Chains A and B, each alone.
Chain A
Amino acid sequence: MSDLELSVMAKDTDRAKPLSGRWVWNAVLPAALVALLLGFAAFDHGVLSPANLLNIAQQTSYLALFAMAQTVVILTRGFDLALGPTVSMVSVGTALAMAGATATGHDTSVVLFAGLGAGFGLGIACGLFNGVVIALLGVNPFVATLGSYNIAIGIATTLSSGRPVQGVPKLFSQIFYGGSVFGVPAAIVITVVIGIALHLILSCTVFGRSLYIIGTNPRAAAVAGLPVKRILVATYVLCSGLAALGAIMMTARTGSGEPNLGGALSLQAIAGAVVGGTSLAGGRGGVGTAVLGALFITILSNGMNLTRIDGYVQMVVLGAIVIVGVLLDRLRLERGQ
C-alpha cells in the first residue's frame, strides 16, 4: 500500500462521527441491494421467486465465507492473493485423501476424517507459510502471497495432474452440500455459524480487537505490548483455514477435487470485502461488510444472468461496480466526519 493511499485513508477513524451522518451513509449499500433486486425483478419476475432467493443465499454463502477470510487479513493491512489457489489445493488434497482412504478399504468415517484432515492441514500449512513470511521475515503481503499463489497453483495441478480428482464419497457431498438443518441448506448453515463465531471473535476477544489496532496503527500496537508478529501469523492461519472450509464445501458441491476451483476467487473475495466497506488501509470492516459485499456481487451477477446480459458485459459491469463501491465508501467516510 502506498503512502499516498495511506495518508488519504488514514483518517478512517469512524468511531467519533456524528450518528446521523453515519446512519445515512451506512444505509446506502443495503438500499442499493434492495433497489438492485427490485430493478431486476422488473425485467424478470423469476428474480424474486423463493427458489431463486434461496439460490442467491446459497451462492452468497460461499463468496461470503471467502470474503470473511479476506477481511480478517485486510483488517491488519494485509492481503491474501493466494486464497484462490489455496482453495484449489485444498479441494484436490481433500479429494485425493478421501479417494486414497476409500481405495485402501477404510471405514466411511475414517475416509471423511482423512479428507477433512488433509484439507484443513493443507489450508493451515499455507496460512502458516504466509504468516511466517509476512510477519517474521517482513516481506510485503502482496509479494508473499503472490509467491504462495504460484506455489499453491503448482502443488494443486501437480497433485491432480491437472485433471479433476474423482472418488469423493457420496456421504461427503450429502453432508456438506446436500444436507440441511430445518430445511436450510448446509452451505448457508455453515456460513451463518462461522459468521456469528467470527463476529464474536472480532468484537469480543483480545485477539479480534488487536487485529483492529494493528490495522489502525501497527506501531502503537507494538508499543502497547501486543505480540504483533504472533497475532499476524494467527491471522493468516485463520484466513487460510476459512478458505479451506469454503474449499471443502465447494468440493462437496462439485463432487470432485478441482485443480482450478479457485480461479478468480482471490480477487473476487477482495472485491467482495472492499465493496462491502472494508478499508484496504486496515482497521475497518468486519463480518457485516464481508457479507454485504458478497451479497451485492452475487445478486448483481445472478440478476444479470437471469436478464441474459452477455457474460463479457458482466465483467465490465463488475469492474465498474468495484470502483464505484469503493468511491462511495470513501465519500461516506468524508461526509461522516
Chain B
Amino acid sequence: MSTARVTAGPQSSIGLRSIAGRIGFLPALLLLLVAAMSATDPQFYGIINILNILRNASLLAIVACGQALVIVAGGFDLSVGAVVALASVVTAKTMATTATAFPGNTALIIASGVAAGLGCGMVVGLVNGFCVAKLKVSGFVVTLGTMSATAGVGLMITNGIPVYGMPDIFVKGFGRAQAFGLPTAVHVALIVILVMVFAQRRTLFGRYVYAIGGNVDAAVVSGVSIQRHIVGTYVVSSVLAALAGILLTAQVGSGQASFGGDRMMLQSIAAAVIGGVSLRGGVGRVEIVAISALFLTILGNALNLLHVDSRLQPVFLGVIMVAAVALDELSRRRKARV
C-alpha cells in the first residue's frame, strides 16, 4: 500500500487517445446512460427533471471536490456529511437570532448567517487537520470522531427540530432563484469546480497536495511543509461541505440537522473514487469527480423514473462502485505488465 506512484497531474502531450485515456470511460458511461434514459422515458428530459438533477448533482459535486482533495493528499474525510448538517443548522439559527436583534437589516442578517455557517465548517476542518497533521492520528479515526461530535452538536442546537426564521430574500432570492435558467446551486458549483481545477493545476498548494499524496518522504525531502498543506486540505473540504449545507438550507428554507449525514459522506467518497481518485493518494482530478457526481445523481434519478424499488437502489450503487474501481485496478495491472 505504501508503494508510491508519482503520476501527478496532466502531461503536456495532446492527442485523442491520450485524452480518452486520461478521462476514462466515465463520460462515455454518462452519455450512454443519458441516451438510454432519454429513449425510454420522455419525463427524463423534461426541464423540471433536468433542473432537479443539476441541483442535486451540484451539491454533491461541491462536497465531493473537497473530499477528493483530502483523498489526493492521502487522507479521508468522514465528517463532511455531519458538517453539512451543522452548517445548515448554525446558518439558520444565526439568521433567526440576528433577525430578532436587528429586524429589517437583511444584508447583515444574511452575512452573519453565511459567515457563521462557513466559520463552523472551518473550525471542524481545523480540528481535523490539527489532529491529523500535528497529533499524527489516522485521518480515518479523527474524522470518525469529529463526525460523531459534529452531528451531536448539530442535534444539540436544534433538538432535532427544523430551524425557521430566515429572511425571505435569502430563500426566494437566493436559494430558489434561477439565473440564466439555472438554479443558484449550479452556478456556485461551477465556480467551485473552476477554482478547484485552477488550484489543483496552477497553484503551489495544489501541486504540493499531489506531491504529499504521491510520496510523503519525497515531499518532505523537497522541503514541502507537510503539516500546513494537510491542514489546508481538511479545511477546504469542511468549508465546501459547509457551503453545500448553506445552499441546501437556502433551497429548503429551514435549517435541519438531518441534512447531509452518512448518505452524503458515503456518496461523496463514492463520487471521488468512481471519478478516478486513488485512495492511495497522489492521483485524481476534481473535474472528473464532478462528472462522476453528475453520473451518480443521474443514476439515482434514472432508477427512480424506472420505478426501481427505492430499497433495491443501494444495491446498484454498490455494484457500480465496486465494478468501477475493480476495472480501474485491472487496467492498471495490465498497463504495469506491459
Contact = CB atoms under 8 A, between A and B. Distances in A.
B226 A4 contact: yes
Interface stretch (A6-14, A65-73, A196-204, A245-253): A6-14
B148 A315 contact: yes
Contacts of A326: 137-138, 141-142
Interface string B147-168: 1111111011001000000000
A77 interface: yes
A292 B171 CA distance: 50
A52 B17 CA distance: 68
Interface string A1-42: 111111111100000000000000000000000000000000
Interface string B123-149: 000000001000111111110111111
Interface in A312-337: 312-316, 318-323, 326-327, 330
B149 A149 contact: no
B146 A327 contact: no
Contacts of A1: 1, 138, 140
Range of interface residues on B (Cβ < 8 Å): 35 or more
Interface in A246-272: 267, 270-271
Contacts of B150: 319
B47 interface: no
Given A2-B74, A316-B156, A146 B266 contact: yes
Contact of B325 (A9, A10, A143): A143
Contact of B148 (A6, A151, A316, A330): A316
A157 B312 CA distance: 8
Interface stretch (B34-42, B60-68, B208-216, B240-248): B208-216
A162 interface: yes
Contacts of B146: 319, 323
Contacts of A10: 2
A318 B213 contact: no
Interface string B247-291: 000000000000000000010011001000001110000000000
Nearest to A136: B326
Range of interface residues on A (Cβ < 8 Å): 35 or more
Given A133-B322, A155-B315, A316 B153 contact: yes
A49 B338 CA distance: 68
Contact of A3 (B216, B270, B330): B216
Contacts of B217: 3, 7
Contact of B319 (A5, A151, A315): A151
Interface string A295-316: 0000000000000001011111
B1 A77 contact: yes
Interface string A141-167: 011101111110111011001100000
A280 B279 contact: no
A312 B154 CA distance: 9
A200 B318 CA distance: 35
A218 interface: yes
A233 B311 CA distance: 28
A207 B267 CA distance: 36
Nearest to B212: A4
Contacts of B140: 1, 280
Contacts of A312: 152-153, 155-156, 159
B1 A310 contact: no
A201 B161 CA distance: 49
A316 B152 contact: yes
Contact of A323 (B73, B142, B159): B142
B333 interface: yes
Interface string B73-99: 111100000000000000000000000
17 contacts: A2-B76, A3-B215, A10-B2, A139-B326, A140-B280, A146-B318, A148-B322, A151-B318, A154-B315, A158-B311, A158-B312, A274-B141, A312-B152, A312-B159, A322-B145, A323-B141, A326-B138
Interface of A: 1-10, 77, 133, 137-140, 142-144, 146-151, 153-155, 157-158, 161-162, 218, 267, 270-271, 274, 280-281, 310, 312-316, 318-323, 326-327, 330
Interface of B: 1-2, 4, 73-76, 131, 135-142, 144-153, 155-156, 159, 212-213, 215-217, 226, 230, 266, 269-270, 273, 279-281, 309, 311-319, 321-322, 325-326, 329-330, 333
Given A2-B216, A3-B217, A4-B74, 14 more contacts: A3-B2, A139-B329, A146-B318, A153-B314, A157-B311, A280-B138, A312-B152, A312-B156, A316-B152, A319-B144, A320-B149, A321-B145, A323-B137, A323-B141
